[in-house]
Structure 1
Amino acid sequence: MLRIEHLTKTYPGGKTAVRDLSLHVCPGDITGFIGHNGAGKTTTIKAAVGILEFDEGEIFIDGIPMRQDPLACKQKLAYIPDNPDLYPYLTGIQYLNFVADLFGVSARDRSARVERYAGAFGITGVLGDMISSYSHGMRQKLAVTAALVHEPRLLVLDEPFVGLDPEAVVTLKGLMHELCAAGAAVFFSTHVLDVAERLCNKVVIIKQGRLVTAGETAALTGGKPLEEVFMEVVRGDGADSASVKTRSV
């Protein structure tokens, strides 16, 4: 569903944020994308969803190359940043209708999906209010609802659980599983490693813009807590660390 091949991105001034990165996210996968601050996670995600141009490599969404047909790629995915930048002077329902219009969602389908997802997150009662009046958590819930209104084949999220209350976190996890059970895929970055360990069937770890290890969560951790494996990888020392680095997809 998402295939990144030899991605390299260097910013003006010479800082290379991502170096020759390759990873695959298949239909049905919930893949956690893990790394320290500045490891290149957000750069990779923004390139994957067509926001950021890149210097080398290629990105494919459901087999379509991003560089050749970015619009077709974007029609198949939904992206939720860590701090969604919504339109404050629209009401919640106006924003959802705007997104549904962009993706050509019929009136019947959008009505059913808005009812379902807004209801699941408990924001139905505030959809008539201006977004400027929403709390951070409410904006996050609206952004997730908007992302799901066109039933994306690939859901990409950057720190999706930040700002959500515990009930909304449980709801979002359940929706991720539902999407993947229907043949879609989820790719998200997180610093909450215990959540990634429990939720993700696959994990990708990067360090300084390079892939360090990736694979099935259970095989990658080998019975250890993901937190322990991550610390071995990022510190890059010890015999156990060397064994972890050999695992990849």
Structure 2
Amino acid sequence: MIPLLRTVAALALLGTALPALAEDAHPAHPAVKPEAPPVTFHRLEQGNLRFTKGVARHPAQTIAVRNALASEQHPHAIVVACSDSRVPPELVFDQGLGELFVVREAGNELEPLALASIEYGVAHLGVRLIVIMGHESCGAVKTGLAIPDGQSAGSPYLDALVSSVKSNLTDAGLTDADRHDPKVVKAAHANVDAVTRQLTQRSELLKAKVDAGELAVVSAIYALDTGHVEFWHTEGLAPAKAPVTTTTRH
């Protein structure tokens, strides 16, 4: 009788789990035309908020959505992120299949093929928002700070990466405390700022889109411990904060 009871209990448990695996009657379809930058920015902010609170929805990951995306894609945003395994944009922003066009390079560096990938997302997929997202405790930034000028990082490719990061930090005004900060917060911000500037300096296609008001570019830093993404250069995308008022005491 005991084995039989165990079997019945297992089947009952499986029965309660099956609805969670079932397809939604009307699954959210991400294959829609890219939205205006403020709408997409709000989508990313809300997704990151869910992620930080531990209530991620993991949207657009059903079989129906996967099948719908087999023949086309219309991502909402391009995220240029570091290759660090702890910073996956789809999880950080709680997005699903077909929603983000992701370009990942160590230190967010813009080598030619990375730039070409970004241009493809804008010119051929119609994406209207680009997020340059670095992160605290970035290994590439730490290496750029630690290796003395003229010393090899171990290979020509690593040397190119270190040289690029060093160049990004040249005019960052870093103090000794900044350079020895375990999270390299100021240096990581400076590196993202430099990459954000380079995006339109190096690509005439992207600059033309930005100048025409057809493309927005924002900077961001991800905190490994909290999961929070801090944005800046968000003029026109995020609602203005209410002014702080002071009451004069008589």
Normalising to structure 2: TM-score of the pair?
A: 0.32
Higher helix share: 2
Larger RCO (CA under 8 A, 6+ residues apart): 1
Normalising to structure 1: TM-score of the pair?
A: 0.32
Structure of greater Rg: 2
